[in-house]
Amino acid sequence: MIALTITVLILICLVFSLWLSYYLGYKKHLNRHRVKRYPKRTGKLSLFTDGNELYTSYFKDIRNAKDSVEIQFYTLCDDKICNEFLAILRQKAHEGLTVRLLLDHYGSKNVKKEQIKRCRDAGVKVAFSHKPSLPYLLFTSLTHNHRKISVIDGEIGYIGGFNLGEDYLGNNPKLGYWRDHHLKVLGKSVDDLRNQFYRDYNMATGEKQTYVPQEHVRETGGIEHHFESTNGAHLQETFLAMVRRAKRELYICTPYFIPGKELTDELIRALKRGVNVKVLVPFNGDYPLVKEAAFRYYGLLLPHGCKIYRFYQGFYHSKVVVVDDKLCDIGSGNFNKRSFYINDEMNGFIYTASFINRVKETIEEDIQRSELLTYDSYQKRPLLQKGKEQVANLFSRFL
C-alpha cells in the first residue's frame, strides 16, 4: 500500500511539473511576443493553388536573385525537390548573395545534417526556430514556427500554405494530389514580410540583424491587403471578428477544423442570422486524430444548416477564410486550436472584391470535387469512429 501511494504521488508530481512547465513557458512566450499587424497597403498579388505552378515561379525567382534571399519554412525534408531547393541556395551563396534560411526545429527534423552542413559551408546562414530548451521543455517542444515567408531581393515575396517537398507536388501515394493556396507579392508590403522574417530570425539566432527598406519599390497593382503575424494567441480573435462580419456567406477552408467552443458558438449565431456557412476540409487526414477531432464540431454545426464538404480528390491543405466579397484570409494559420494557442502564424488579409471573387471561384471548384457530409450520415458513424473522437478530444489543443 505504501509503495502504491508513493507511486501515485510521484505520478501526480510528474504530471503537475509537466503542466507547470507548459503553463509557465506559454505565459513567458506570450509576454515576449505580441500580435503584429502590418499596415494596409496596395500591391500586386498572384494566386497559386497548384504546387507545380508555384515551384516553377518560385524557383525561377530565386535563381534570378541578384542581392539577397531570405526564406522561412515550417517543413523541409530530404527528397528530390528539397535537395534541388538547397542546391539553388548554395549556388546563390557561391555567387556572393546574402542567403538566410530559417526552419522550424520540429517541422524540418527530417533534413539531413549533412545537407545543413553543405549549405553552411557554402555560405548559407541556416537557423532553426523553437529548439526545445529548459526550463520550459514541454512547451518549447510543442510550439512551432509555422510561418512560410520568402523574400527575394527585398522586392518579391511569397506567403501561404505550401511548404517544400514532393508531397506538395502530389507525389505522396497516400495523400495524392495536393491542393493549397499561396500568394506571390509585389509592392511595399514585401517589406512587411521581410520585417517579420528578421524578427523571427533574430529570435532564433540571438542576433540583431536589421534590414533596409527598399525605398525604390513603389506600390504596384491595386489589390488592397495587409499582413498579420500571431504567436500562439490573437488568431482566434481575428477569426471571431471575421465570422461576426459575415452577412451573406462565409467560406472556411482548412485541413484541420478544430475551432473550439467560442468560435463554434459564433458560427452557430452566424447560421441563425442567415449566413450561408460552407466548411471545406480533406476527406482523409494526414496526422493521427486530427480528422476525428473535427467531428465533435461537425455535430454541433450540422443541425443549424452548416454545409461540411470533404475534398476527396487528393489532400486539401488550404488555409482560407472568405467573408462575403469583402474580406479574404490566406496564410499559414489553420482553423484549429494549435494555430490559436501554440503556433507562430502569418496570414494575409485581402479586401479587393475582384481578387476575393477569384479565390471564391477556386473554392467552388474544389467543392465540386468534394462530398457533402449530411447530418444523417454523421449520426450513423461506427462505434470505433466515435471512440477515436473521444480520444482526439482529449488532445485537441495540440492537434
Q: Is the pLDDT of residue 71 over 80?
A: yes
Strand partners, 226: 349
Q: Of 31-45, 262-276, 310-324, which gets the smallest average pLDDT?
A: 31-45
- Check pLDDT > 90 for residue 23: no
Question: How far lies 217's CA from each of 188, 196, 301, in Å?
Answer: 6, 18, 46
Q: Please determine, for residue 304, whether its predicted confidence score (pLDDT) is greater than 70.
A: yes
pLDDT of residue 220: 67
When pLDDT is averaged across residues 134-155 and rounded to a whole number, the result is 92
Matching residue, cell 484549429? 336
pLDDT-derived band at 218 (thresholds 50, 70, 90) equals low
Q: Cα dist. 86→80, 173, 214, 314, 315 in Å?
A: 10, 24, 26, 27, 26
319 is catalytic: yes
Q: To the nearest 10°, report the CA torsion of 240, 245, 246, 247.
A: 150
Specify the pLDDT at position 219: 64
Active site residue 153: yes
pLDDT tier at 26, thresholds 50, 70, 90: confident
Catalytic residue among 182, 317, 337, 388: 317
Band of residue 45 on the pLDDT scale cut at 50, 70, 90: very high
Task: Kindly name the residue from 225, 234, 319, 337 that is annotated as catalytic.
Answer: 319
The segment with the largest mean pLDDT, out of 197-211, 264-278, 373-387, is 264-278
Pairing outcome for strands 276-282 and 249-253: parallel
Give the chain's mean pLDDT.
94
Catalytic residue among 153, 180, 191, 329: 153
Is 146 annotated as catalytic?
yes
Smallest Cα–Cα separation from 319: which of 336, 295, 307? 336
Distance between CA atoms of residues 68 and 155, nearest Å: 10
Check if 180 is active-site: no
User: 309: Cβ–Cβ under 8 A, 6 or more apart, which residues?
Assistant: 278, 279, 280, 281, 366, 367, 370, 371, 372, 373
Q: Give the global pTM.
A: 0.95
- What's residue 129's pLDDT? 96
Q: Could you tell me the three cell numbers for 111? A: 533534413
The answer to whether residues 154 and 217 touch, using CB atoms and an 8 Å cutoff, is yes
What local confidence, expressed as pLDDT, does residue 157 receive?
Answer: 98
Residue 208 has pLDDT above 70, yes or no: yes
> Strand, helix or coil at 366?
helix
Catalytic residue flag (residue 167): no
Q: What angle do CA 85, 88, 89 make, to 5 degrees?
A: 90
Residue 133 has pLDDT above 90, yes or no: no
Per annotation, catalytic residue among 29, 33, 146, 278: 146
pLDDT class of 232 with cuts at 50, 70, 90: confident
Q: How far apart are CA 31 and CA 251, in angstroms?
A: 33
What pLDDT, on a 0 to 100 scale, did the predictor assign at position 268?
98
pLDDT at 43: 95
Give the residue-averaged pLDDT of 205-220.
81
* pLDDT at site 194: 97
Residue linked to cell 527575394: 152
CA distances 134 to 25, 76, 80, 99, 203, Å, are 10, 25, 35, 30, 16
Torsion region of 116: left, alpha or beta (phi above 0 gives left; psi -120 to 50 gives alpha): alpha
Would you state the cell numbers that stand for residue 280, as one nine-digit string?
471545406
Q: Cell 502564424 belongs to which residue?
A: 345
Q: Which of 180, 192, 324, 366 is catalytic?
A: 324
Are 183 and 346 in contact by the 8 Å Cβ rule? The answer is no
- pLDDT above 70 covers a percentage of the chain that reads 98
Catalytic residue among 148, 181, 182, 225: 148
| Grid coordinates belonging to 207 | 542576433
Query: For 171-185, 216-230, 245-259, 315-329, which range has the lowest pLDDT when averaged over its residues?
Result: 216-230
